[in-house]
Amino acid sequence: MSDERYSRQSFLGPHAQESIECAVMGIVGLGGGGSHVVQQLAHVGFQQYVLYDPDCVEDHNLNRMVGATEADVKEARPKVEVALRIIRGLQQQALVETYRKRWQDEPLPLRRCDLLFGCIDGVGNRRDLEAAARRYLIPYIDIGLDVHQAGTEPPVMAGQVVLSMPGTPCLHCLGVLQEKALEQEGRHYGNAGPRPQVVWANGVLASTAVGIAIDLLTDWTRQLRPPVYLQYFGNEGTMQSSPRLTFAPKTCVHYPTTDIGDPEI
């Protein structure tokens, strides 16, 4: 790789590119959020990827899925192939493992990842992915976006980016995952229809998540100290640290750091 390509990001540190190139990045979900994440990681210079998504590109993805085209819809191209195409366009030599399936159906490749991005819908899915990340000591970055509408008020767009590190407060501790929501999802309570998603908000959240990952790997700011819980307010266009961090326990009570490795039967 030419030094020139990364000269504009040399402020990350003398060994930053080395750290970036040796990290194995896992991305679960390659739609609105995950497609941005993949694209940015490839630009930054990551060379090793593990990608999961069971779906093919559909027409309703084109409003936000970076890199997807009308031809992909016509050919019902798997999202993992679109992601692979994006990476190959920037990093021909990258090692990319693609899994056109749910990660739960082939979990072993996920475990070799150094860092995981969860770009998935549903609270149950996110609970399961964080649990796997905790068990195999993998830092997990969760992004989520939602749009709520109440009465005649304008819709409210809000989201979050959370860095969940082993030992520090988890999504349960931070109130991102709540029992009530998990129960409701389990009972298919309330059919809200398709989840509203838009490209610009997905882009903000994905960019923030990638920024956290780069900081974690290079320590360029020397001030990233987990947990990180950033709340996005789409109507105002602001991102701020969540007040829930103040009330979270210092250490995670849901995933003890001794409860790691393969489950013992």
Partner 1 sequence: MNTQLIIRLAHPLYGQVMVDLTRPHPFADERVSFLFTKAGTGPHGSILLFPVDYLPLQDEQYIDENDPLVGAAISGDALRSAMQRVLDTGMGALHVHMHAHHRGRPRFSPTDWHDLPDIVQSLRNANSQLIHGALLLSQDMATGALWLPDQDICKPLVPRVSIVGSPLRICPGGENRER
Told to check if 258 binds partner 1 by CB under 8 A, we report: yes
| Segment lying near partner 1 (by CB under 8 A), choices 39-47, 69-77, 163-171, 197-205 | 163-171
Q: Kindly state the smallest distance separating residue 90's Cβ from partner 1, in Å.
A: 20
Is residue 262 a contact point for partner 1 (CB under 8 A)? yes
Cis preceding-peptide flag for 227 (omega within 30 of 0): yes
Yes or no: say if 63 and 198 are a contact pair by the CB < 8 Å rule: yes
Shortest approach of partner 1 to residue 217 CB, angstroms? Answer: 6
Burial status of residue 261 (CB atoms within 10 A of its CB: 0-12, 13-18, 19 or more): exposed
CA max distance for the chain: 55
Q: Does the footprint of partner 1 cover residue 15 (CB under 8 A)?
A: yes
- Pattern of binders to partner 1 over 132-151, x per CB under 8 A? ---xxxxx------------
Establish if 16 lies at the interface with partner 1 (CB under 8 A). Answer: no
Task: Give the whole-angstrom CA distance, residue 25 versus residue 142.
Answer: 14
Contact range with partner 1 by CB under 8 A, out of 103-111, 144-152, 187-195, 200-208: 103-111
Q: Which stretch binds partner 1 (CB under 8 A): 34-42, 129-137, 173-181, 203-211?
A: 129-137
List 77, 85, 102, 111, residue binding partner 1 (CB under 8 A): 111
Quote the tokens at residue 121.
């819908």
Using CB under 8 A as the binding rule, whether residue 94 contacts partner 1 is answered as: no
Task: Assess 260 for contact with partner 1 (CB under 8 A).
Answer: yes
Q: Are the beta carbons of 42 and 5 closer than 8 angstroms?
A: no
Pick left, alpha or beta for residue 167 (phi over 0 → left; psi -120 to 50 → alpha; otherwise beta).
left
If DSSP codes are grouped into helix, strand and coil, which group holds residue 122? coil
Q: Which one, 54 or 109, has the nearer CB to partner 1? A: 109
Which single residue is written with the structure tokens 């770009």?
Answer: 119
The secondary structure of residue 7, as a DSSP letter, is G
Burial group, residue 185, by CB count within 10 angstroms (0-12, 13-18, 19+): middle
Site residues for partner 1, window 202-231 (CB under 8 A)? Answer: 216-219, 224-226
Q: Which spans of this chain sit near partner 1 (rule: CB under 8 A)?
A: 15, 19, 22-23, 95, 97, 108-109, 111-112, 114-115, 135-139, 165-167, 216-219, 224-226, 257-258, 260-262
